[in-house]
Structure 1
Amino acid sequence: MLKVFSTRAGSRLERSRQWLAFTGADRVEIDDDREASIRGSDFGAVRLCQASLGRHRIGQSPRIDREAEEAALKFFFQEEGSARLRQHGREIEISPGQWCALRKDLPYEFEAPGHSRQLTITLPCETLAAPRPGFQWWGTPRSYRSGAVQVLHATASAAVMTGADLTRYESEAIGGQVVQLLELALRAGDSALPPDMKERRRAAALDFIERNLADPALGVPLIAHALGCSSRTLHKLFEGEANTVARIIWNRRLDRCRSELTDPAFATRSITEIAHYWGFSDSQHFSRAFKARFGRTPRECRALAVLH
């Protein structure tokens, strides 16, 4: 069953208390005036969640109501903002477009210096086929912008967004697919070969796009200038792919719009305001493009999220 929660509080302390009560975390400190929201569901043995918060710190320890907490992994996909994770005296910094993992059954801390949004995948360790990578591998931030892990992130994100429409059988089947994609991503990440220069520059271009989506001037000339290359070189970085640079920007802006339309923290912001913020100046054109990508109009998408 899909669960959706959003804080509604007049103070940071009350907002933190609400989040603590809903999530069961040990320590929560929300340190700005942005409302926080979370949506998620269990897909068989896999739990998928998407959380959106302002500046905050969270401390999590194993549950004390069980003699032995089941060994579990929690994968963090940083979609917006940056964050720091701490476990066993190690600190991991992740930026938008990166992912890593921690042991869920061991104490850890999560801190975001500003607004952030994460997609998380939590599952028992035994769900993944052995041998599994060690902590050093899990705790190394990696990009999820390409390859099998990009498909994994897209699948998990879509599942969270549409979980309310799925039957139990469908949810469990999708959970199984997420596990298979995760194993595929882990195998693909075993290679010790460094990425070639083209892949590095492509990743840099995608990172620049992600960090500047709200900039009306974002386009090929601006990206090429930031990377210190020509527009022609930038286009060649994406040759052979399904989407051009312009289409990637377009789709990512639509993704951000859908995320905010279904996020209770943005309930007071109108559809037009959200569209304009992400670079869509024509409301009718935006509505048509949104429906073409997601199968529903922006209004239908928001109404469905409210119902669930």
Structure 2
Amino acid sequence: MTTPVVLSTDGLPEKETAPAWQDWMAQLFSGLETDLYGDTCFDGHLSVAYAGDVMLTKLDAGRHRVVRDGHRLRDSEAAYLKIVAPWSGHAEVQQCGSKTCVSNGSWAIYDTSQPYVVANPQHTEHLIMMVPKQSIAERGLRLDNLMGRSVGGSAGIARIALQTMRSTYQELDQMTAPLARRAGELLVDMVHLSLQALGGQATAVTQKQALYDRICEHVASHVRDPGLSVDQVAEALNCSRRHLHNAFAGRDQSLGGFIQQSRLELCMRELHSPALAHRTITEIAVGCGFGSSAHFSRAFKAHVGMSPSEFRALGH
């Protein structure tokens, strides 16, 4: 059986949580630097498993930003294609002049042999997968113009690939080593096919993704603003509501639903934060952009399956 390696800040003294997380990220990801947005205590969990040469990591953590600087890259290091596929929260990926934002239902890819930045401005739960770069490059696919981009995930081969990544991670502990290796080879095939499809997409699709990325960035940075709405986003980005809705076509939710989910995920994080235990549920809801406590309570129960007070009690 393939046993995952689990790392968690649970049980550590608060002052040790931030440096412990930064050390783990550096050890697991070849010297990766981690910025915690100035936070001095941190809540984070990592579960790492291998499917042959493919590394799969479930990351459940507070807001943070990782940076791979050019001066830290070493020629002797093995190069990987790294994938981030959120279950919750967002990931903002920058590499080689490209910038993209992905959330649940989509995934982005970047190259560990080149500088990159990945920002997670709120609590996130991600699946991170690392595939040896050579295993894709040797198939003749040009990679440079595909890095730092969203591959998709709502349709086609990219959706099948996303489902395969998640299923493989969830079932790895039931696999023998030879079976896990074969599963890893299948994942490499899925990534290759997805990148082939991405390379053949029309410019119109790329423009649609670029608008989606801009929308995600705007929502992430204004989620606490009670005035954040479809109309406000349209005005801020200087585009029509029709273009906004078109950017979300084929995805699991509308822009309005995306805004509400972003606020709810932030509320969930803050309701379980020991540092905010002194704040009332209403204060937290208002601070996360909800204008009505009644609307917040209904939306929260529909999203989580329990009331905010019941959810908060589970975290204490």
TM-score when normalising by structure 1: 0.61
The one-letter code sitting in structure 2 at the alignment partner of 1:124 is P
Matched, 1:285 2:291: no
Of the three residues 96, 116, 122, the one matched with 2:101 is 96
Instruction: Look up the equivalent residue of 1:40 and give its one-letter code.
Output: S
The aligned residue for residue 222 of structure 1 is: 232
Partner of 2:47: 40
Show the counterpart of 1:243: 253
- Kindly indicate whether the alpha-carbon contact (under 8 Å) linking 1:92 and 1:141 is maintained by their aligned counterparts in 2: no
Secondary structure of the residue aligned to 2:101 is coil
Which among 55, 60, 72 is matched to residue 80 of structure 2? 72
Structure 2 counterpart of 1:195, from 181, 204, 213: 204
Tell me the distance in 1 between the aligned counterparts of 2:209 and 2:100.
18
Identity across aligned pairs (percent)? 17
1:112-134 C-alpha deviation (Å, 9 max, x unpaired): 79957774321334665962534
Aligned AA (1:290): H
SS at match of 1:75: strand
Q: Pick one of 21, 24, 29 that aligns with 1:22.
A: 24
Are 2:170 and 1:169 equivalent residues in the alignment? no
Contact 1:261 1:302 in 2 (8 A): no
Unaligned runs of 5+ in 2: none
**What one-letter code is carried by the residue in structure 1 that aligns with 2:21?**
W
Write out per-residue CA displacement over residues 212-262 of structure 1, whole angstroms, 9 at most, x where no aligned residue.
32221121221222233444564466567653332232233334455x379
Q: Equivalent residue for 1:133?
A: 141
Q: Compared with structure 1, are the counterparts of its residues 130 and 231 closer, same or farther at alpha carbon in structure 2 (3 Å cutoff)?
A: same
TM-score, normalized by length of structure 2? 0.60
1:3 to 3, 6, 12: 6
Q: Distance in 1 between matches of 2:188 and 2:307?
A: 31
Please give the alpha-carbon distance, in whole angstroms, between the structure 2 residues aligned to 1:274 and 1:175: 43
Q: Tell me what 1:269 maps to.
A: 276
In 2 relative to 1, CA 180–190 (structure 1 residues): closer, same or farther, beyond 3 Å?
same
- For the aligned residue pairs, the C-alpha RMSD in angstroms reads 5.2
Distance 1:301 1:100, change over 3 A: farther
